[in-house]
Amino acid sequence: MSDLNATREAAASKVSKAGGFPEQEQQPPGSTTAMNPVPDHGEDTWVGRDRLVGLKALITGGDSGIGRAVAIAFAREGCDVALSYLSEEQSDAEDVARLVEEAGRRCVLLPGDLQDESTCRQVVDEAAEQLGGLDVLVNNAGLQWGRRNSGLADLETEEMDRVFRTNLYGLFWVTQQALEHLGEGASIINVSSIQAYDPSTALIDYAATKAAINNFTVNLAAEVGPKGIRVNAVAPGPIWTPLQPATKKGESMPKFGEDTPLGRAGQPSELAGAFVYLASPAEASYVSGTVLGVTGGKPVF
Binding site for Mg ion (CB under 5 A): 29, 63-64, 89
Alpha helices by DSSP H, listed for the chain, are 3-12, 65-76, 90-102, 117-131, 157-164, 170-178, 204-224, 243-247, 272-279
Whether 206 is catalytic: yes
Distance CA 178, CA 122 (A): 10
Tell me the window of 80-88, 124-132, 152-160, 224-232 that interacts with ligand NAD (CB under 6 A): 80-88
29 near ligand NAD (CB under 6 A): yes
Distance CA 27, CA 243 (A): 9
- Catalytic residue (choose from 85, 206, 277, 286): 206
- 63 or 159: CB nearest Mg ion: 63
Strand partners, 111: 85
Q: C-beta of 228: minimal distance to Mg ion in Å? A: 33
117 near ligand NAD (CB under 6 A): no
CB 288 within 8 A of CB 279: no
Q: Which of 70, 86, 108, 163 binds ligand NAD (CB under 6 A)?
A: 86
25 near ligand NAD (CB under 6 A): no
**Binds 113: which of ligand NAD, Mg ion, none (CB < 5-8 Å by kind):** ligand NAD
- 86 or 221: CB nearest ligand NAD: 86
- 87 or 285: CB nearest ligand NAD: 87
Total Cβ atoms within 10 A of residue 288: 21
Strand partners, 239: 266
What are the angstrom distances between the C-alpha of 120 and each of 129, 217, 284, 286? 14, 19, 27, 29
**215: nearest Cα among 165, 171, 255, 264:** 171
Q: Strands 107-111 and 230-236, how do they pair?
A: unpaired
**Binds 276: which of Mg ion, ligand NAD, none (CB < 5-8 Å by kind):** none
Q: Which of 20, 48, 142, 245 binds ligand NAD (CB under 6 A)?
A: 142
Distance CA 290, CA 41 (A): 24
100 near ligand NAD (CB under 6 A): no
- Residues of this chain that interact with ligand NAD (CB under 6 A) are 29-30, 61, 63-67, 84-86, 89, 113-115, 140-143, 166, 191, 193, 236, 238-239, 241-244
Catalytically annotated residues: 206
